[in-house]
Amino acid sequence: MSAAEDKYILHPEGEIKIETKDLDMYYGNFQALTDVSVAMPSRHITALIGPSGCGKSSFLRCLNRMNEVIPEARVDGQVLLDGNDIYQADTDVVQLRKRVGMVFQRPNPFPMSIYDNVAYGPRLHTATRGSELDEIVERSLRGAALWGEVKDKLHQSAMDLSGGQQQRLCIARVLAVEPEVLLMDEPCSALDPTATFRIEELMTELRESYTIIIVTHNMYQASRVSQYTGFFLLGEIIEYGHTEQIFENPADRRTDDYVRGRFG
Interacting residue ranges for other proteins, rule: CB under 8 A? 64, 66, 69, 71, 92, 94-98, 101-102, 104, 106, 108-111, 120-121, 124-125, 157, 159, 170, 173-174, 177
DSSP string computed for the chain: -HHHHHTTB---SS-EEEEEEEEEEEETTEEEEEEEEEEEETTSEEEEE-STTSSHHHHHHHTTTGGGGSTTEEEEEEEEETTEETTSTT--HHHHHHHEEEE-SS----SSBHHHHHHHHHHHHS---HHHHHHHHHHHHHHTT-HHHHTT-TTSBGGGS-HHHHHHHHHHHHHTT--SEEEEESTTTTS-HHHHHHHHHHHHHHTTT-EEEEE-S-HHHHHHH-SEEEEEETTEEEEEEEHHHHHHS-SSHHHHHHHTTS--
CB-nearer residue toward other proteins: 97 or 224: 97
Q: How far is the CB of 84 from other proteins (least distance, A)?
A: 16
Q: How far is the CB of 185 from other proteins (least distance, A)?
A: 10
Q: How far is the CB of 64 from other proteins (least distance, A)?
A: 7
Q: How far is the CB of 180 from other proteins (least distance, A)?
A: 12
Q: How far is the CB of 56 from other proteins (least distance, A)?
A: 17
Q: How far is the CB of 178 from other proteins (least distance, A)?
A: 10
CB-nearer residue toward other proteins: 120 or 197: 120
Q: Is the CA virtual torsion 221, 224, 227, 230 positive or negative?
A: positive
CB-nearer residue toward other proteins: 56 or 98: 98
CB-nearer residue toward other proteins: 82 or 257: 82
CB-nearer residue toward other proteins: 43 or 125: 125
CB-nearer residue toward other proteins: 166 or 243: 166
Q: Which residues pair with 35 in a beta bridge?
A: none
